[in-house]
Amino acid sequence: LRDKTVLVTGGAGFIGSHLVEALTPHNEVRVLDNFSSGDRAHLPEDVTVIEGSISDPIAVQEAARGVDIIFHHAAVVSVSRSVDAPRQSNDTNLDASLLLLEQARQEDARVVVASSAAVYGHPAELPVQETAPAEPTSPYGVQKLALDQYTRLYEELYDLETVALRYFNAYGPRQQGPYSGVISTFLEQARANEPITIEGDGEQTRDFVHVSDLVRANLRAATTEATGEAYNIGTGSRTSIRELAETIKDATGSSSPIVHRDPRPGDIRHSGADVSKAERTLGFESQVGLESGIRSLVDGV
């Protein structure tokens, strides 16, 4: 992408900041972030930062003025927080997102939103296709599903160009904090030579996708002609949590024991993306396999 004015909401966060990094050399980049979990240190210098909430109409208006594309990554990402306080997360994940879509209409800006595998709940069939039944098991999933449907509808009703990217299990540098994923938890445990804690039997599987692949998907979504659509973004292959624990233990040369705890209540057993739609239509292909992704995390490159 070149010579565009773009807004990245949540641009100081885990996925957003990697996207900002990829966009800045050739585009004018703005970031709207309230720094609740994002970090200024993740942002390149030549980015315009608007510190504010996506729930604040004034901040959103200022941030979106004159932009060509909005990449929407601001969200309350914790599934368990959405279970504890569904209205609070709904305010950010859905109401504020709608405010952003309205602003995009004003600016006639394309919108690419971060949706989630959470929209599927327990997949009935694997790998899961975009047409599979969407039965989320958390308020977070319901909110992402509604956002995903709104983007489609905004294209249908108002001719706004929109794309929803349904991320599977993201990992990579800068994923941190209490709601980060299993890979960053296991890495931290392995590095400290503390027990690596598998929840349940470890036979549950996930489709782990490196953040650089998510960036690639966003760049494709920015220019595709196939808008008004939702796309699964994953690698298409699944890894069990036990395998993951062993891979991380090996990669770090850790002496951590691998231990089992109670399974997480309501845990999804298996999750894996059918990525053929994204491959066919967006020209997206994931390029980072799990082992090399973990290796580069361990080596810090």
Active site residues: 140
Q: Which residue is nearest to ligand UD2 (CB)?
A: 181
CB of 223 to ligand UD2, least distance (A): 26
SS (H, E, C) the chain: CCCCEEEEECCCCHHHHHHHHHHCCCCEEEEEECCCCCCHHHCCCCCEEEECCCCCHHHHHHHHCCCCEEEECCCCCCHHHHHHCHHHHHHHHHHHHHHHHHHHHHHCCEEEEEEEHHHHECCCCCCECCCCCCECCCHHHHHHHHHHHHHHHHHHHHCCCEEEEEECEEECCCCCCCCCCHHHHHHHHHHCCCCEEEECCCCCEECEEEHHHHHHHHHHHHHCCCCCEEEEECCCCCEEHHHHHHHHHHHHCCCCCEEEECCCCCCCCECCECCHHHHHHHCCCCCCCHHHHHHHHHHCC
Q: Which of 47, 118, 221, 248 binds ligand UD2 (CB under 6 A)?
A: 118
- Please say whether the beta carbons of 143 and 156 come within 8 A: no
Residue 198 interacting with ligand UD2 (CB under 6 A): yes
Residue 185 interacting with ligand UD2 (CB under 6 A): yes
CB-wise, 6 or 77, nearer to ligand UD2?
77
Residue 181 interacting with ligand UD2 (CB under 6 A): yes
CB-wise, 29 or 77, nearer to ligand UD2?
77
CB-wise, 59 or 83, nearer to ligand UD2?
83
CB-wise, 197 or 237, nearer to ligand UD2?
197
> Among 31-39, 177-185, 224-232, 290-298, which window interacts with ligand UD2 (CB under 6 A)?
177-185
Q: What is the rounded distance in angstroms from the CA atom of residue 222 to the CA atom of residue 231?
A: 13
Q: Which of 26, 40, 264, 280 binds ligand UD2 (CB under 6 A)?
A: 264
- Interaction mask 87-116, ligand UD2, x per CB under 6 A: -----------------------------x
> Among 9-17, 97-105, 211-219, 262-270, which window interacts with ligand UD2 (CB under 6 A)?
262-270
Residue 288 interacting with ligand UD2 (CB under 6 A): no
In the region spanning residues 51 to 80, those forming contacts with ligand UD2, defined by CB under 6 A, are: 77, 79
CB of 93 to ligand UD2, least distance (A): 11
Interface residue list for ligand UD2 (CB under 6 A): 77, 79, 116-118, 169-170, 181-182, 185, 197-199, 204, 206, 241, 264, 267-268, 271
